[in-house]
Amino acid sequence: MAQTSAETIKTTPLYEQHLAANGRMVPFGGYSLPVQYASGIMAEHKWTREHAGLFDVSHMGPGFLTLNNPGGDAEADHAAVAAIIEPLICGDITGLKPGNIRYTMLLNDQGGVIDDLMVGRSPLLGGALYIVVNAGTKDGDFAIIEAAAGDKARLMRADADNALLALQGPEAVQVLARIAPGAEDLSFMQYRAFDWNGERLIISRAGYTGEDGFEILVSAANAARLWDALLADDRVQPAGLGARDSLRLEAGLPLYGHDLDASVSPIEAGLGFAVSKRRREAADFPGASRILAEREGAPGRIRVGLMVEGAPAREGAEILDAAGSVIGVVTSGGFAPSLGKAIAMGFVPPSHAEIGTALQVSVRGRAQAATVVPTPFVPHRYFRKSKAS
Amino acid sequence: MTTKFTPDHEYIRVEGSTGIVGITPYAQNALGDIVFVELPSVGKVLKKGDEAAVVESVKAASEIYAPVAGTVSEINEALSGEPGLINTDPESGGWIYKITIADASELDGLLDDAAYAELTK
């Protein structure tokens, strides 16, 4: 976890709520946030898988990129705003339907990942995008996007004046439908605005746990009221950063700064699905030559999931082949509460990446057995409306 | 029977020449759910302050040090199957290992109940 000095540590609009719930506050991404509440990581993790966990993710970087001079034709305005951000990323934004969100990556010229992020097309306005980037990278990301926007569009950061809540788990939809009727009609990776007692909520059906769930952008002034209203439902318990990390690890989702960094390409990271077809065919994104070559041939390394015997293998643990030679490194690892076993993600050469390959991990100088397994470790349970309906 | 404490939150309960070592209720609460315990080998010779065991929570690994010098005489095998005993019963069922104390005078350098209570209040 990134640590920040006490002088610069920020609080979120939900700080008092965390203290009231006995949150154990730690510095993370420049903010004081709860790593857990009284019930502990294990209980919060399992509650989220079975019911609904409520997370404060206000450290993230939400923002809106909006055309300065929209022409009024929704499609043309969308194409214009998409054309601003597409040269920075590998996703097809032009092709997004109103209200749809795409997971994509900001790339450097070498095809390395500057950040992974969500980009949504406004369900109402032409020429407006909803963007959510990571906490630790948001200042740099927003500077890049602003530079690309020039005088054509403006980026309104929404991180300082708002809170971002995540409600995740199989019961999240019933809970949220009572507060924001119609939220249940969103499909995975869709968003729109809802009215809540005269307050505007931006609700997206997305998350970082592998479960069905939502992320809710709410003004700082109303954040505590919304938090309390969600928690008043017996199906909801607050969950901290510890459970967020163990849930995303089980879901096989990468964490920027750990599983992804400026040296890792989307192909190496196993995120080739996020390099959109139209963009591949046009080869018009940063680092396209490397990324397309890796996609056709073989990258030097690839992210795999590992089922680990014995003690958890944490970030930085060496991955060994069956003979004991170092072939890679663990980038995320820990204990999987849903499986009762240690799991890890890390990078190995493609020759050792086949499912079922017997490898080892070095924990405190001892080699432990590890097997390459498919990710997600725990199946995703996203809600996708059938196209026919 | 006396119990002494280290500033690192290990306890050692002294029964004759044997010390029973574990972590305090305060420590287990701070660590959170224990999911794995790496136990020492019986017969291992430890100096005061040596790493004797490792307890792992969901989030992190923490070393358990030897409060005094001695030889590991017994380990709590129950922790291999049920590491959570350290959370639910740290002072009794969640003991980690027993040590044959090499030099009882080393116990004098540890914290007594009152001093440990002061440290963690």
Phi/psi at A47 (5° precision): -60, -40
The number of C-beta contacts closer than 8 angstroms across A and B is 44
Flag whether residue B45 sits within 8 Å of chain A, measured between CB atoms.
Answer: no
pLDDT at A2 exceeding the cut of 60:
no
Is residue B36 included in any domain, yes or no?
Answer: yes
Is residue B118 included in any domain, yes or no?
Answer: no
pLDDT at A388 exceeding the cut of 80:
no
CATH topology of domain A300-373: Elongation Factor Tu (Ef-tu); domain 3 (2.40.30)
Q: Which of residues 18-37 of B touch A (CB under 8 A)?
A: 32-33, 35-36
Flag whether residue B54 sits within 8 Å of chain A, measured between CB atoms.
Answer: yes
Residue span of the structural domain in which B85 resides:
2-106
| Total of domains in chain B | 1
CATH of span A61-157? 3.30.70.1400
Mean pLDDT for the stretch of residues A57-82: 97
Specify the CATH number for A6-60+160-250; select among 3.80.10.10, 3.40.50.300, 3.30.1360.120, 3.30.70.1350.
3.30.1360.120
**The domains spanning A6-60+160-250 and A61-157 adopt the same CATH topology:** no
pLDDT for A389 = 42
Q: Give the pair of three-digit tokens for residue A220.
A: 């700082």
pLDDT for A6 = 52
Domain boundaries, chain A: 6-60+160-250, 61-157, 300-373
Indicate the pLDDT class of residue A385, thresholds 50, 70 and 90: confident
CATH of the domain at B11: 2.40.50.100
Exposure string of A3-34, with b = 16+ CB inside 10 Å and e = fewer, is ebeeeebbebbbbebbeebebbbbbbbbbbbb
Residues with pLDDT less than 70, chain B: none
pLDDT at A1 exceeding the cut of 50:
no
pLDDT tens profile A269-316: 999 999 999 999 999 999 999 999 999 988 999 999 999 999 999 999
Q: Chain A contacts of B82, Cβ < 8 Å?
A: none
Indicate the pLDDT class of residue A23, thresholds 50, 70 and 90: very high
Query: For residue B101, which of B66, B77, B76, B75 has the smallest C-alpha distance?
Result: B66
pLDDT for B59 = 86
Indicate the pLDDT class of residue A246, thresholds 50, 70 and 90: very high
Q: Give the pair of three-digit tokens for residue A86.
A: 């597409």
Helix (H, G, I), strand (E, B) or coil at A138: helix
pLDDT for A5 = 52
Judged by CB atoms closer than 8 Å, whether chains meet at A335 and B54 is answered as no
Chain A positions touching chain B (beta carbons under 8 Å): 35-36, 40-43, 45, 242, 245-246, 310-312, 314, 334-335, 337, 342, 364
Check: CB of residue A74 under 8 Å from CB of residue A126.
yes
Mean of per-residue pLDDT scores for chain A: 96
Is residue B35 included in any domain, yes or no?
Answer: yes
pLDDT tens profile A208-244: 999 999 999 999 999 999 999 999 999 999 999 999 9
